[in-house]
Each structure stands twice: as C-alpha cells, then as structure tokens.
C-alpha cells in the first residue's frame, strides 16, 4: 500500500533535556536552569539517532527552526545539531528564538510541585470543590490558558505560512520546535484544534522528539503522527 501522505510537511517537537527541577517535578517557567549531565546525554542520544543528513530530522529539509529563549532550550538546540548543519541553519536565517515558545508562565507557582500548588490555591480560597487543573485554571500571577492559546495560535499561523504551499513536497517545508514539556503539549492541543482544557493525555520525556503533520496533504487537517517508518540513513 503506497504512503498516501508522502511528502507532507512535518512539525517536529523537541523537548529540552533533564534539569534538576525536571527530576523532582518542579514547575519551571522563567527560571534559568542548566541541563544535568544526564539531560545533556538524553539530547545527544536523540540527536545522534534522529538528526542529520538522511535521518528523521534532516537539516536540508527544515524550512525553519523555532526555539524557546530559555537557556535549557537553546542548549538543547545546540546539542541536537552538534556537527550536523547548525551553522548553515543559523546563517541562512532559518532559526528564530521566540517568546511564543517560552514555557507557560507559572507566576506564583514557579518552583513548586503540584501538591504545593493545590495547597496554596486552597489557602487563597480557590478550588474548594475541585482540584486545580492548569489547562482549565491557569496560574495566579502567571498565564491563563487563553493567553497561552493566543501565542501558540499565532505561531501556528507562522508555521502554516511555511507549509501551506508545499503540501505535496514541492520544496522542503519541515519545521522544528525546541521548547518545554507543558508548552509542547499545549502546542499539540492547539495544532489539533482542541481547546486547552480538552482532556487529551499526552506524555513527553525530556530530550524526546514528537511529530505532527497533516492528513490528506491538507493544511486544514492537522494530525498527530503516532508512528512513522524511519528513513534509510545515508552512509557516513
């Protein structure tokens, strides 16, 4: 059976590697943290397997790379493309660092874990009849789901501008996003046109790569690619 969606552009999602707060579940928005040594290894391993000429993420097929301005995301981008096309991507103007991909602004919840956030909210007279849910309730003195939706929808419009005229592989139009756990899951919901509070359970490990695309070569049919065959790698 032929691949009816061959040539359709992809949007690759890259989550930054592990940090100390990733390890213990602390909400990390604006706080600048280094990758742990294990986090560096996570990203390098993903890069070796998935990034490079003839691999899943081929720099020659990337129309653009969008990167969160947080250091842990910038470092992840650098590690993913170590020795495999980073300079050409940058020099050709195909890399943009953008606040649209910054992690959810957690406000009062920065550095807390979920149980601490829920306890704090109850102290503030909130959530007396139900537990806090970031997708529905947002963050005190931080971002609401509506604010996150607005910036992600704006980014999706930019991505569509790269891809709309290339739905059959007319020219390379893949896009890579390098960002954060909550933000990339939020992006996936908006890509699929779901409201932020839609109960879509998504998991993404530090250093992981996810894939979004379209059905039927149609810009109006965004899709989650739950699996794909890996391309044949070029000989070294």
The predicted pLDDT at position 231 comes to: 67
DSSP letters for 95-112:
EEE-GGGS----GGGTT-
Residue 31 has pLDDT above 80, yes or no: yes
Residue 165 has pLDDT above 60, yes or no: yes
* pLDDT confidence bin for 4, thresholds 50/70/90: low
Using one digit for the tens of pLDDT, what is the confidence trace for 188-209? 999 999 999 999 999 999 999 9
Calculate the average pLDDT of the chain. 94
Using one digit for the tens of pLDDT, what is the confidence trace for 216-232? 999 999 999 987 776 66
- Residue 31, classified by CB atoms within 10 Å of its CB into exposed (0-12), middle (13-18) or buried (19+), is middle
End-to-end CA separation in angstroms for the chain: 31
How many whole angstroms separate alpha carbon 115 and alpha carbon 105? 18
- Token readout for 43 is 């990203």
Using one digit for the tens of pLDDT, what is the confidence trace for 34-90? 999 999 999 999 999 999 999 999 999 999 999 999 999 999 999 999 989 899 999
Using one digit for the tens of pLDDT, what is the confidence trace for 86-140? 999 999 999 999 999 999 999 999 999 999 999 999 999 999 899 999 999 999 9
The distance from CA 166 to its chain's CA centroid, rounded to whole angstroms, is 22
- Give me the active site residues, please: 16, 103
Phi, psi of 185 (to 5 degrees): -70, -40
Pick the CATH number of 11-224 from 3.30.390.50, 3.40.50.1240, 3.40.50.1110, 3.20.20.70: 3.40.50.1240
How many whole angstroms separate alpha carbon 181 and alpha carbon 16? 8
Pairing type for strands 209-214 and 222-224 reads antiparallel
């Amino acid at each position: 059976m032929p691949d009816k969606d061959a040539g359709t552009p992809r949007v690759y999602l890259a989550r930054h590697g592990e940090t100390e707060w990733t390890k213990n579940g602390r909400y990390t928005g604006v706080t600048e943290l280094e990758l742990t040594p294990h986090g560096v290894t996570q990203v390098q391993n993903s890069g070796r397997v998935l990034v490079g000429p003839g691999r899943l993420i081929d720099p020659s097929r990337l129309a653009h790379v969008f990167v969160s301005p947080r250091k842990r995301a910038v470092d992840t981008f650098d590690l993913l493309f170590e020795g495999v096309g980073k300079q050409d991507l940058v020099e050709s103007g195909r890399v943009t660092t953008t606040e649209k991909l910054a992690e959810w602004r957690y406000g009062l919840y920065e550095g807390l874990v979920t149980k601490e956030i829920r306890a704090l909210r109850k102290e503030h007279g909130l959530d007396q009849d139900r537990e806090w849910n970031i997708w529905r309730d947002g963050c005190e003195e931080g971002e609401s789901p509506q604010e996150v939706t607005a910036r992600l929808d704006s980014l999706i419009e930019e991505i569509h501008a790269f891809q709309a005229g290339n739905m059959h592989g007319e020219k390379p139009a893949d896009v890579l996003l390098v960002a954060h756990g909550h933000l990339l899951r939020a992006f996936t919901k908006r890509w699929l046109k779901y409201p932020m509070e839609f109960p879509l359970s998504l998991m993404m490990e530090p250093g992981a790569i996810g894939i979004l695309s379209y059905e039927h070569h149609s810009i109006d049919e965004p899709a989650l690619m739950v699996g794909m065959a890996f391309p044949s790698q070029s000989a070294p």
